[in-house]
Structure 1
Amino acid sequence: MHRALAALVAGAVATMVMSAALAIFEVQTRYAIGIFQAIARFVRMPDSVFLGFVVYALVGTVAWPLLFVSLKPYVPLDLDPAVAGMLFALPLWIAFAIVGRGDVTGAIVVLFVGFTLLAHLAYGFVLGAVYASLADEHA
């Protein structure tokens, strides 16, 4: 499969995995997190939860996977693609932890940081593994 198409498919699968994890976290916190609302506030459209979702989906399925496949050849380490994906997901998590936190305060912040880290690591793992499988690219 073509590298860009493999990256887009891997990004879609990885975004679904991360979305499931974040949905569980939203339910467990009784929707205190408001991830899409926080992203909408970040793009200066605080009343558009749908726009927050669209930005989340586009970054996860298009922008980040294409950036991953573009920068992967320049990584000096010979890493397993799933591990490379996990490392590549860390900057995305840092941005998400800052932007997506929204109005969360107190003890939930600790849970937010930990759970979103795990969700992003899962995203990166799936992104790298699925991409490598589809593009027939193995470490």
Structure 2
Amino acid sequence: MADTEKTSVSEVGTTTEELAAIIRDGVVGAAGGLVGTALMTVVLLVGNALGGFDLSSFAALAELTRLNTIAPAIPAGYFIFLGGGMTTWPLLFASVEQYLPGKTIRQRGVPFGTVLWTGFVIAFYTGQTGAALYVYLITTLVAHWVYGFGLGSVFDYLSNRPDTLV
């Protein structure tokens, strides 16, 4: 067997440690996304109560994936929304957060939320006009700031914990 084909015990240990770190980081990202999305949901519900955000916009997500044929559209769409908030956006945040303005990770979550808002505000718009449009714009922006801050806060908190706690 050639030397290049041999795997030492230390290399296997390193690979196992790297895999464990990737899984640990994924759990941290999912936890951050869950907290951020939960906080964001509260603000969106306030926007809904004020007449600026329509929960039926979540139904469009279910319709795009045809989940509305097997489940109620709004809950199914929200489940997709939650999945993105726990996977896609935390992964992107972990990749770019060091390039965002802010002294701490939680502070850098706010501009990250602002960037996400630019797509959300177009995709989830349901025809609001007048005062409802202003409520929509403000509550969705605040919701994204809260999401980014919550996501960054969890990243910050769990990244400073001993490895045994994460």
TM-score range, shorter chain: 0.7 to 0.9
Compute the displacement of 1:35 (Å): 3.3
In structure 1, the gaps of 5 or more residues are none
Match of 2:34 among 4, 7, 12: 12
Quick check: 1:114 aligned with 2:99? no
Question: For residues 50-129 of structure 1, what are the structure 2 equivalents within 5 Å?
Answer: 50-73=75-98, 75=99, 79-129=103-153
Contact 1:32–1:104 (CA<8 Å) still a contact in 2? no
Match of 2:74 among 49, 55, 67: 49
**Root mean square deviation, CA, Å:** 2.7
TM-score by length of 1: 0.81
Separation of aligned partners in 2, 1:66 and 1:122: 17
TM-score by length of 2: 0.69
Residue 104 to residue 44, structure 1, CA distance change in 2 (3 Å): farther
Contact 1:38–1:99 (CA<8 Å) still a contact in 2? no
Separation of aligned partners in 1, 2:60 and 2:131: 18
The letter for the 2-side match of 1:53 is Y
Compute the displacement of 1:46 (Å): 9.8
Contact 1:93–1:116 (CA<8 Å) still a contact in 2? yes
Contact 2:54–2:126 (CA<8 Å) still a contact in 1? no
Quick check: 1:3 aligned with 2:25? yes
Q: Which structure would you say has the larger Rg?
A: 2
SS at match of 2:87: helix
Residue 39 to residue 101, structure 1, CA distance change in 2 (3 Å): farther
Q: Work out the number of aligned pairs and report it.
A: 135
